Chains A and B, each alone.
Chain A
Amino acid sequence: MSKLLLNPVTILGGIWWWVLIEAIGIALLVGVAYIAFEPTIRRTWPGMLPGWIRLTSSRKPDADVGRELLLGTAALVPVALVLLVCASLPGETVTTVWPAIVLLGVGQPGLYGFLLLDMLQTAILASVAFLILAGASRAPSDRRGSLSSSRHSPWHLPS
């Protein structure tokens, strides 16, 4: 977040609030889409959501939650490698301040691309906050078991 606040592209460009407003709009859309699609995903892709539900509900997270957090973090390594390789290729690579700018270049299209990444960053952070709030507000009914009728439901830890 500090990088975002100190980002001279948005600050000096005077478009910080517009980027923020648009990103929050995207985050709301993502949150509403999550709520809309969740029942379908629960049915058709049962392995997808338990880790998330367990993290956002007030239950104690288990090893599966830690596994998914580690998987998501470890997946950064190949992406960082791609960024490094792209930055080392000959072409419009000028600054070394932000890897995204190094990747996209400092021309007009590169700056627009970086703004899109900036919005994506804010939107993801806001979406995560939204989804955690949604999960926290849903947790009590989850604990009562109203959302799952099966005894073998994957949504609850074995007691």
Chain B
Amino acid sequence: MRTVSLEARVLAMLVGLAIVITALSLRGGFLSIVTFLTAATQL
């Protein structure tokens, strides 16, 4: 079975984070980004 490399996983995580933070900065504010980052590092 074809495996998924570490680089692909890190890339997926970074792209996901970038999309979410961009969306938050457009629809929310600094506080929403801080809340998100604080909570996301607890995952």
Contact = CB atoms under 8 A, between A and B. Distances in A.
Contacts of B5: 91
A63 interface: no
Interface in B5-34: 5-6, 9-10, 12-13, 16-17, 19-20, 23-25, 27-34
A110 B3 contact: no
A31 interface: no
B28 A72 contact: yes
Contacts of A68: 28-29, 31-32, 35
Size bracket, chain B contacts:
20 to 34
Interface in A116-152: 117, 120-121, 124-125, 128, 131
Contacts of B2: 90
B18 to A, nearest CB: 11
A38 to B, nearest CB: 10
A91 B3 contact: yes
B3 to A, nearest CB: 4
A43 interface: no
Given A86-B12, A104-B6, A113-B10, A69 B38 contact: no
A21 B25 CA distance: 29
A71 B27 CA distance: 8
Contact of B43 (A48, A79, A90, A92): A79
Contact of A91 (B9, B17, B27): B9
Contacts of B12: 82, 85-86
B31 A51 contact: yes
A47 interface: yes
A75 interface: yes
7 contacts: A52-B30, A68-B28, A72-B35, A89-B4, A91-B4, A104-B6, A117-B41
